C-alpha cells in the first residue's frame, strides 16, 4: 500500500482515537494509541505526535476523554487516556458521519 498521507488523517483523527480507546478496557498512553492505529490499519495509517497530542488535549477539553498521569511499562511518567460516556456518544456520531462520507464518495466514483 502507498505511503500514508497526513491529509487523509485530518478528518478522521478523532474517530480513530475514540475508536481505539473504546476498543480497550484499560486507558492507553499516546504512544500505545498511535501504535494500535498503525498496527490495526496494517501500517497504512501513521499518527504523528504533532497531530495526536493537540487532538488529545482538544478531546479532553470537550469531555470526550479523560487523562491521568501514570507510569508506562518502562517506568516513565505518561498520560493515560480513556473514553468517557460523552466520548462514546461522539464516536457514534463520527462513525455515522464517516459512513455517510464514504457512501457519498462511492456515488461520485461510480461510473455513470
pLDDT of residue 10: 58
All 3 cell numbers of residue 11? 478528518
pLDDT of residue 47: 94
Delineate the domains of the chain, giving CATH numbers in brackets: 6-109 (1.10.10.10)
Q: How far is CA 60 from CA 38, 41, 112, in A?
A: 22, 24, 44
Rounded to 5 degrees, what angle do the CA atoms 59, 60, 63 make? 90
Task: State residue 62 phi and psi, 5-degree precision.
Answer: -80, -10
Task: Centre a 10 Å sphere on the Cβ of residue 73 and count the other Cβ atoms it contains.
Answer: 9
Rounded to 5 degrees, what angle do the CA atoms 89, 94, 95 make? 100
State the pTM of this model: 0.87
Roughly what angle, to the nearest 10 degrees, separates helices 49-62 and 13-22? 70
pLDDT of residue 7: 46
All 3 cell numbers of residue 55? 487532538
Task: State residue 28 phi and psi, 5-degree precision.
Answer: -125, 145
Residues of the chain with pLDDT under 50: 1, 4-7
Q: Which helix (H) or strand (E) holds 110?
A: none
Amino acid at each position: 500500500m502507498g505511503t500514508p498521507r497526513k491529509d487523509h488523517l485530518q478528518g478522521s483523527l478523532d474517530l480513530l482515537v475514540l475508536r481505539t480507546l473504546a476498543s480497550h478496557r484499560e486507558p492507553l498512553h499516546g504512544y500505545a494509541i498511535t501504535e494500535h492505529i498503525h498496527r490495526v490499519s496494517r501500517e497504512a495509517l501513521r499518527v504523528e505526535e504533532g497531530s495526536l497530542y493537540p487532538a488529545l488535549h482538544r478531546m479532553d477539553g470537550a469531555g470526550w476523554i479523560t487523562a491521568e498521569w501514570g507510569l508506562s511499562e518502562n517506568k516513565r511518567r505518561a498520560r493515560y487516556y480513556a473514553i468517557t460516556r460523552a466520548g462514546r456518544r461522539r464516536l457514534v456520531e463520527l462513525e455515522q458521519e464517516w459512513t455517510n462520507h464514504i457512501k457519498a464518495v462511492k456515488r461520485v466514483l461510480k461510473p455513470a
